[in-house]
Amino acid sequence: MPEGAPGTQSSGLVLVDKPAGLTSHDVVGRVRRLAGTRKVGHAGTLDPMATGLLVIGYNKATRLLTAITGSDKTYRATVRLGISTVTDDAEGEVLATRLANAVTPERVTAAIAGLTGDIHQVPSAVSAIKVDGQRAYQRVRAGEDVRLEARPVTVRRFEVIGFRRAADGTTVDLDVEVDCTSGTYIRALARDLGEALETGGHLTALRRTSVGPFSVTDAVTLEDLAVRFTATELSAAAAGLFPVRRLSALEASELSFGRRIPATGTEGTVAAQGPDGAVVALISDQARRGSAEVSEEVSAKPEIVFAPAGTPDAPGTSGSGA
């Protein structure tokens, strides 16, 4: 067991720099063993070939993962133009090769413009999207011809930071950075960029560099984690994700029992922090209809209630590193 392993006594988030060759499930399994607790999950899958930031939650902090999964993400990737594959990445069988010798930086810029902003994207057929209860990639591996529906995503930035033409001119490698909403498939962007340029395209490298407010520069490797378990405890993580409402002792007590408190006046989710600094709950303002004589009343309703102040999850009692 590494130094600072929390067991079941505290909750928090771990930022892992995932290596290539492991699935996200593999990483969760390793963190589960290192943390000494069964309740571990992740906020957004990375393919085995991909590297970079995987946000892991353990114990009560797994309840934060849904909010993190929906956050915007940033990726750095390499797109190879001139070759299409079954999986839209380097691990799949080659479907077709087409010369990319007519591709220029100007043509790439024009094609990328059509894949930036609010777009409808058809996910890769080997994605983890469920089709009739089974993952799409499982159906593809079973030999089925899977066609997924287009879905709206937003690509906020799609920037080329490197352009390299092969010596024989047959392929072009583009190093790109992408800021996008959750649910955007970078493999699909590579595929669609290749089709827009009439060359085909696929990913040869993918690295996730940020998820919401979290950066891969703050992540640790699994090897480092095996020596010292480094994490951000639950209250600090929640306060970093959402605006903070500081509570009185009475308000903290009410929320710990799932009761409403006066409205925050803030739109969206708020981290409700008790007098001792512990985040007691995530709350949001919601209307509650009163009697026939009383109009709708707006108050803050708990969305998720964590341990009340003074329990092992309060600041200062975590067994994990800062």
Integer CA distances (angstroms), 293 to 286, 296, 298, in order: 19, 10, 16
Tokens of 146: 């899977």
Q: What beta strand segments (E) does 34-148 contain?
A: 40-42, 51-58, 73-81, 83-85, 94-97, 117-121, 130-131, 134-135
**Gap between the Cα atoms of 36 and 73, Å rounded:** 29
**Gap between the Cα atoms of 269 and 261, Å rounded:** 14
The one-letter amino acid code at 188 reads A
Which three-class secondary structure state does DSSP give residue 55? Answer: strand
From the candidates 47, 192, 285, 313, give the one annotated as an active-site residue. Answer: 47
Helix 186-196 / helix 105-113 crossing angle, nearest 10 deg: 120
Which three-class secondary structure state does DSSP give residue 57? Answer: strand
The DSSP output letter for 254 is: H
Tokens of 290: 């009163």
The DSSP output letter for 89 is: B
* Residue 47 is among the residues annotated as catalytic for this protein: yes
Residues classed as catalytic: 47
